[in-house]
Amino acid sequence: QVQLQESGPGLVKPSQTLSLTCTVSGGSISSGGYYWSWIRQHPGKGLEWIGYIYYSGSTYYNPSLKSRVTISVDTSKNQFSLKLSSVTAADTAVYYCAREESYFDYWGQGTLVTVSS
Amino acid sequence: EIVLTQSPATLSLSPGERATLSCRASQSVSSYLAWYQQKPGQAPRLLIYDASNRATGIPARFSGSGSGTDFTLTISSLEPEDFAVYYCQQRSNWPPGYTFGQGTKLEIK
A54 close to B (CB below 8 A): no
- For residue A49, the chain B residues in CB contact (below 8 A) are 97-100
Mean per-residue pLDDT, A36-62: 95
Task: Describe the strand order of the beta sheet including A79-84 as a list of residue ranges.
Answer: A3-7, A18-25, A79-84, A69-74
**CB contact at 8 A, A78 and A97:** no
Question: Mean pLDDT of all residues in chain A?
Answer: 96
Candidates A62, A104, A111, partner chain B, best to mutate (most B CBs within 10 A): A104
Identity of the residue in B32, B34, B97 whose CB atom sits nearest the CB atom of A49:
B97
Residue B88 confidence (pLDDT): 98
Residues A103, B44: C-beta atoms closer than 8 Å: no
Rounded CA-CA distance A77/B65 in Å is 40
User: How many CB atoms lie under 10 A from the CB of residue A84?
Assistant: 25
pLDDT digits (tens, 9 = 90+) for A73-89: 999 999 999 999 999 99
